[in-house]
Copies of this chain bind each other. A is one copy, B any other.
Amino acid sequence: MVDQLRRLFATNFPVGIEIGIGDDAAVLTGINNKLVATTDMAVEDIHFKRDWSSAFQIGAKLTTANLADLFAMGAAPKYLLVAAGLPSNLEDNFIEELAKGIRSVADKFEVNVVGGDLSKSEKIVLSITALGDLAKKPVTRSGAKVGDLIFVSALPGLSAAGFAILSRGLDRPRYVVDAHLAPKLSAPLELINCASAMCDISDGLSVDAANLAMASQVNLVLSKELISNAAGFSDLAELATELKEDVFDWVLNGGEDHFFLATVDPEKVNGLSAIKIGEVVAGDGKVMLDEDVIKKAGYQHF
């Protein structure tokens, strides 16, 4: 098993690894500042379906979710540990494809897989821990100040739209289906550098914004007009109308988009390419859409 793991996760840039896969534990020298750590699990038929997702996509998507959590703290991702429970009736190359999917995201950010565990399991279970290095102050959820402006790194709702498409047995438009099955991750570097508070919005904008509002003890007022003017909104709205769904439900409650929500001091917003969607006001932890308080809905697993 160790040989298999070592082969699957052999890397071209083994930086900061004194001992990798193959001994009792990895010995790592790449954390020079604070250690940032997060873990996430994905379970077949809860988080993904084998009918919809390839092994590659399953691996890539969970890796994306993990690395997004590190980025949301302002950290530079360094290492992954991967535990997988796998049925014995999988197609031959499933585990290779799963590892390639993990590597496709890890390689992009020069992250190494340094530990793993393979087990039998009736349903596929994948659990990934991501470790990063943080040289500066962490960007927490609790730093939002009244008067800050609210940004997202990209317009959410794409993954929910993709889910709506797949649920109807359709497979296009591809850009929303891909957003659900193979979400792309970009490091939110410009937001890390200026945010007073930040989080990823993979649980749904409404849920994650509420957590940030509560942690910062402010209200976040999102603007329907600003959201409606965001790039990509009109295509999404058109698709929602076709499917008789509510585009604001996708945007606010969709979840599984690995984008970032940040609050930024208005004096620091010059030149930001992120999308402005609202403003921080005095309050006790609510999220509003214009005048209406948004109830936490968040992402519902199938």
Q: Interface residues, chain A, CB within 8 Å of chain B?
A: 2, 18-19, 22-31, 34-43, 45-47, 68-70, 72-73, 75, 79, 81-85, 114-117, 119-123, 125, 127, 129-132, 134, 138, 140-141, 199-200, 211, 215, 301
Contact = CB atoms under 8 A, between A and B. Distances in A.
A218 to B, nearest CB: 16
Contacts of A79: 37
Tell me how many chains of this kind the complex includes. Answer: 2
23 contacts: A23-B73, A24-B38, A24-B73, A24-B200, A25-B75, A27-B134, A28-B35, A28-B37, A29-B34, A31-B31, A31-B35, A35-B35, A37-B129, A39-B82, A39-B127, A41-B84, A41-B119, A41-B127, A43-B121, A43-B125, A45-B122, A46-B120, A83-B129
Contacts of A69: 24-25
Nearest to A141: B23
A37 B24 contact: no
A132 B36 CA distance: 13
B83 A127 contact: yes
A115 B37 CA distance: 7
Nearest to A38: B25
**Chain A interface mostly helix, strand, loop or mixed?**
strand
B28 A36 contact: yes
A43 B119 contact: yes
A138 B18 contact: yes
A39 to B, nearest CB: 4
A73 B23 CA distance: 8
Contacts of A23: 72-73, 138, 140-141, 199, 215
Contacts of A31: 31, 35
Contact of A121 (B84, B116, B123): B123
A81 B138 contact: no
A27 B38 CA distance: 9
A116 to B, nearest CB: 7
Given A35-B35, A125-B125, A73 B41 contact: no
Give the one of A30, A41, A199, A200 with max B CB within 10 A.
A41
Contacts of A123: 121-123
Given A73-B25, A140-B19, A117 B34 contact: no
B37 A114 contact: yes
Q: Give the 6 A-B CB pairs with smallest separation, nearest first.
A: A127-B127, A25-B38, A24-B72, A41-B83, A39-B81, A129-B129
Contact of A120 (B68, B82, B83, B301): B301
A120 B301 CA distance: 9
Contacts of A130: 25
A161 B162 CA distance: 53
A115 B34 contact: no
Nearest to A71: B24
